[in-house]
Chains A and B, each alone.
Chain A
């Protein structure tokens, strides 16, 4: 485990006052978030899991897509920093009455939140907000575009086990075309010098994958061979409509991560999954619950990483704009 050295360093900042994606984050900013997350992780091990840092700050969690895991993770992170937190699940809000996204957020801003954490089904929704609203925006997942805190907690987990990210072979397998987790992870892992292998059926491979800076293959065996990290992404049952895959049964046969397939990976490989898992579709239960799986650690690391992001983005004035996108 890497522990930051005893040398004090000057305060450093993230360059943007939003976290809209991994795009635009440089390696030093990613390292800052991960290092800060280490400090935050320790708070979760205390009896009193609270520090007064964001006391008096209000953070609104605006979730347009259903989510238990990510929303809870943000809520816990906010509460551990003593922020006042408010979660809005839009199924019960004015959105069902046809209110536009901007009207919803402008109305919220009239009540002066400090930060808005948003998950939305449309790629680019947080960018629209960042352009037109005054709060700091944290993207908790926008359409098929990015899920930056997921990639950060994945990187944190990998770093905890492997001590580094550079030079590791990371295989990412699943419905890549529709995955924001893939896009964020590829950006982050490439920035940090990892060797990424993208694997999916041809119908679920992102178009122009060759320009993403990764190896791509439709062979799970090739992807997993010697991998230090095997990251499985979920296959939605809906993909059978739209003719992407014939059935989840065939998907599991051709692409599922079984103990036999996993044996080709490095002997100390770790298995990851952002959740929620479809057991028996992309991953065998024996692997998900097995000794190489760090899936539950990802969840607990998520709280620490989100605390770090909240901390690093707070304390910035609305007029202090360094980089709007």
Chain B
């Protein structure tokens, strides 16, 4: 089966490419990239002027909720939401029910993903059994079954000793430990960023230092063990400061920031819809100094990856008192418009840097195929339109859950099509 993407601007930082090229796909692999390739019986996909062709986007922080919480999302609906958002691959978190702490669950997730035939799914396994922080899970077996990294996300890896051992062991296996950095005693029963807004609204606060104190612990332990630690959903400026210092010393630390943390601040809690539970997530929306720090880190290269922390919740669960609502918002289908609008069009990053943040770096970080458009690579390709007018409509999101703070927001930039293994698995009907 042959398909040729004709007439597009290809942006592929791995090969230093940014120019007009045709892409020939054969049997799910990229066969050739070149100028004015002959069609020769291939199906032609016209790439319009103004659209760009990039290696498939990879979201390394997604909650697919299956097994156990299928009312929020399933592997199938999540994988469909992923391709609708332009992602050809996602890495899914282990805080399912039961927790993905053994190979049977990893195999189950992979089976569901294969049936769905949308985005590729790379499971991330739990560091400890049940993510309870007491006993190491069978990381070796899990890696063989298909896990690409380990985390107790939802929770921090409980103790310094466990984190040290996990880093050593995972380092031996050649995979990173991803940590949800948060000191439980400082977090307490907080529900919002400990700032003026929470103080005014009477919400218990979570200081940025609850995150940074553990970031510093984990960088120290990564240094001690020589292994790779990846900081999940970084939000506090103090965390970024620690990451920069660690990188400077040569520690193997990487970090990700979610779109909401470089776009929104805690002021919104006191905005037109007060106490909107679609503004409740962990780590919380912080003050503008933190948001601005995240933007700086993204621009200057201290931030390695943009990952959504896609956290679907059923509307019944979110339509409650702020204290009771679960943390999290969906993100797969809002990431690309936000990145285009708030980073590229705002002049903070180039298109090339965007592809690094959303495709090349995440693929490399997890050591999975993708992130590049080299000949012989799997044909995982995203076609984007930087100037597309996008309006987020929560009700029509592909994801099973609609918990987003961006309902009715307008952005410039969106997804035209998503191609996985040479098959067009998503086509935006509005992009013609």
**Residues of chain A at the chain B interface (Cβ within 8 Å):** 100-102, 120-125, 127-128, 131-132, 142-146, 180, 183, 206-209, 211-212, 242, 325
Chain A residues positioned under 8 Å from B115 (CB to CB): none
Task: Tell me which residues across on chain B come within 8 A of A146, comparing CB atoms.
Answer: 202
Distance to closest chain A CB from B358 (angstroms): 35
Most chain B Cβ neighbours within 10 Å, of A120, A124, A125: A124
B contacts, CB < 8 Å to A: 188, 194-196, 198-205, 272-275, 316, 319-324
Q: Are B275 and A102 closer than 8 Å at their CB atoms?
A: no
- Residues in A neighbouring B275, C-beta threshold 8 A: 123-124, 127-128
With contacts A125-B321, A211-B196 known, what are 12 further pairs, Cβ within 8 A? A102-B320, A123-B275, A123-B322, A124-B201, A124-B203, A124-B275, A128-B320, A145-B202, A183-B202, A206-B199, A207-B195, A208-B196
CB <8 Å contact, B316 and A325: no
* Cα distance, A134 to B195, chains bound together (Å): 33
Q: In the bound complex, do residue A131 and residue B273 qualify as a contact, i.e. CB atoms below 8 Å apart? A: yes
Q: List 10 A-B contacts (CB under 8 A).
A: A100-B316, A120-B321, A122-B324, A123-B201, A124-B322, A128-B319, A142-B202, A143-B323, A208-B199, A325-B274
Residues of A within 8 A of B272 (CB): 325
Provide the residues of chain A in CB contact with B316, threshold 8 Å: 100
Cβ of A207: which chain B residues have Cβ within 8 Å of it? 194-196, 198-199, 205
Q: How far is the CA of A180 from the CA of B202 in the complex (A)?
A: 7
In the complex, are the beta carbons of A128 and B321 less than 8 A apart?
yes
Top 9 nearest A-B pairs (CB, nearest first) are A124-B275, A145-B202, A144-B202, A122-B321, A123-B202, A208-B196, A122-B323, A124-B322, A206-B199
The CA-CA distance from A208 to B203 in the complex, in Å, is 13
The smallest C-beta distance from B271 to any residue of chain A, in angstroms, reads 10
Instruction: Name the B residues within 8 Å of A101 (CB-CB).
Output: 320-321
Specify which of A122, A127, A180, A212 lies most central, judged by the most chain B CB atoms within 10 Å of its CB.
Answer: A122
Count chain B CB atoms within 10 A of each CB in A121, A142, A145, A209 and give the residue with the most. A145
Contact B321 A183 (CB under 8 A): no
CB proximity of A93 to chain B, nearest CB, Å: 16
B319, A102: Cβ atoms closer than 8 Å: yes
| Across-interface contacts of A102 in B (CB, < 8 A) | 319-320
Cα-based distance from A299 to B274 in the complex (angstroms):
31
- Chain B, Cβ-Cβ closest to A64: B321
Residues of chain B lying within 8 A (CB to CB) of residue A180: 202
Residues of chain A lying within 8 A (CB to CB) of residue B194: 207
C-alpha spacing A125/B275, complex, angstroms = 8
Known contacts being A207-B194, A208-B196, is A123 close to B203, with CB within 8 Å?
A: yes
Name the residue on A nearest B321 (C-beta): A122
Q: Which residues of B contact A183 (CB under 8 A)?
A: 200, 202
User: How many angstroms from the CA of A142 to the CA of B201 in the assembled complex?
Assistant: 10
Contact between chains at A143 and B273 (CB < 8 Å): no
Q: How far is the CB of A121 from chain B (nearest CB, A)?
A: 8
A contact residues around B202 at 8 Å (CB): 123-124, 142-146, 180, 183
Cβ–Cβ contact B274 & A208, under 8 A:
no
> A142: nearest residue on chain B (CB-CB)?
B202
Shortest CB distance A217–B (Å): 17
User: Which of A121, A180, A208, A209 has the largest number of chain B CB atoms within 10 A?
Assistant: A208
Task: Please tell me if the beta carbons of A145 and B321 are within 8 angstroms of each other in the complex.
Answer: no
Residue of B nearest to A208 (CB): B196
A212→B196 CA distance, assembly (Å): 9
A142–B195 Cα gap in the complex (Å)? Answer: 19
Residues of B within 8 A of A211 (CB): 196, 199
| Residues of chain B within 8 A of A122, CB atoms compared | 321-324
A238 to chain B, nearest CB (A): 13
Q: Nearest CB to that of B196 among chain A residues?
A: A208
Chain B residues with Cβ below 8 Å from A144 are 202-204
- In the complex the two chains form, what is the Cα distance from A102 to B188 in whole Å? 27
Closest to A129 in B: B321
CA distance A144 to B316 in the complex (A): 24
Please give, as numbers and ranges, the residues of chain A lying within 8 Å of B205 by CB-CB distance.
Answer: 207
Q: A180 vs B323: C-alpha distance in the bound complex, in angstroms? A: 16
Q: Is the CB of B319 within 8 A of A132?
A: yes
Chain A residues closer than 8 Å to B321, beta-carbon distance: 101, 120, 122, 124-125, 128
| Minimum C-beta distance from A9 to chain B (A) | 32
